[in-house]
Amino acid sequence: MSEKKWRALDHCDTEKQDAEVLQEGDQEAVTKQDSFEWIIVKDSEDVEVQTTDTQAAVSLQVGIQVAIAVVISLTLGDNDQSKAVVQDLKQFMKTKQRNTQKTVIEGSKHVKVTTTDIDLAVNIQALLQILLAVVAKLDIL
Amino acid sequence: MSDSQKNPKVLSDKIIDLLVSNTFQKNGVNVEKAKQKLSDEQKQMLKDLVTDLTSQVNSFVKEQPSQQKKPK
C-alpha cells in the first residue's frame, strides 16, 4: 500500500472499535481490486482520452456476489450448509487484482488514447456466469 | 456485430455448471428440496435481480473501449 495517500481521517479507520455492524455486509462478498491508472498529458493539444469506469465495474462485481449469496441463503436457509456452499463458490469469486497502467502523452497533437481494463470485464462476466448457473440450477429462471 | 460477439462467454457454461453442481453435491444440497423453498414472489424478485444484473454487465462490457467499433 505504498501508494496510499495520507488522509486526515485515517485515524478513524484504526481507532474504530464498534465496527461490528459494518462487518456484517462484508462477509458476503470480498473483492479486492486496486486500479491505479495514470494518464499524463503534457505539452499537447487535441488529446482525447477514453478509459474504463473502474468504480462502476467494482460495484457491479459486488452486486453479483451479493446476489449469489442471497439466492443461496434463500434456498438453503441460513445454516451451515448454505454458508459452506457460499464459501466454496467464493473461492472462485474471490479476486485480487491490481492494475497499474501509466500513459504519458507528451508534445503531441491530435492524439486519441483508449485504455482498457480487460481483467475487470472478464471477471465480471465470469461472476455473472456463476450467478446464472446457480439460478438456473434452482429453477429460478 | 452478432449477439455472440457482443456477449462473449469468458468461461464455458459447462465448466461453470460443473462447478456449481459439484459445490452443491459436495455440501449435500438437496436441489429439489431447495427449489421448493422459494415463493413465487421471491422467484420473481430474484429473476428481476438477475435480469437487471445481466443487462448491467452487458452494457458495461459493450462500453469497454476495446469492444467499440472503430470508425476508421
Helix (H), strand (E) at residue A50: strand A45-50
The pTM assigned to this predicted structure is 0.67
Query: In Å, what is the CA distance from B47 to each residue of A21, A90, A135, A138?
Result: 29, 21, 8, 11
Q: Across the interface, do A67 and B9 touch by the CB < 8 Å criterion?
A: no
Query: Which residue reads 472478464 in cell numbers?
Result: A122
- At A128, the pLDDT band (50, 70, 90 cuts) reads very high
What are the cell numbers at A75?
A: 434456498
Q: What is the pLDDT of residue B30?
A: 87
Question: Which among A56, A75, A125 is the nearest to B34, CB-wise?
Answer: A75
Residues of A in contact with B28 (CB under 8 A): 81
Find which of B16, B26, B39, B55 to mutate to test the A interface (most A CBs within 10 Å of its CB): B16
Q: Closest-CA residue in chain A for B48?
A: A141
**Interatomic CA distance for residues A113 and B65, integer angstroms:** 10
The mean pLDDT of chain A is 77
Residues of B in contact with A56 (CB under 8 A): 60
Mean pLDDT by 10 residues, chain B (72 residues): 50 87 89 86 91 91 57 42
Interface pTM, i.e. ipTM: 0.76
Query: Which residue reads 448454505 in cell numbers?
Result: A82
Q: Across the interface, do B17 and A130 touch by the CB < 8 Å criterion?
A: no
Residues of A in contact with B11 (CB under 8 A): 126, 129
Helix pair A80-93, A118-137: axis angle to 10 deg? 150
User: Would you call A36 an interface residue with chain B, using a CB distance cutoff of 8 Å?
Assistant: no
Helix (H), strand (E) at residue B6: helix B3-6
Q: What is the pLDDT of residue B48?
A: 93
Each residue's pLDDT tens digit, A107-121: 999 988 887 777 778
Q: What is the pLDDT of residue B1?
A: 40
Phi, psi of A122 (to 5 degrees): -65, -45
Q: Across the interface, do B60 and A57 touch by the CB < 8 Å criterion?
A: yes
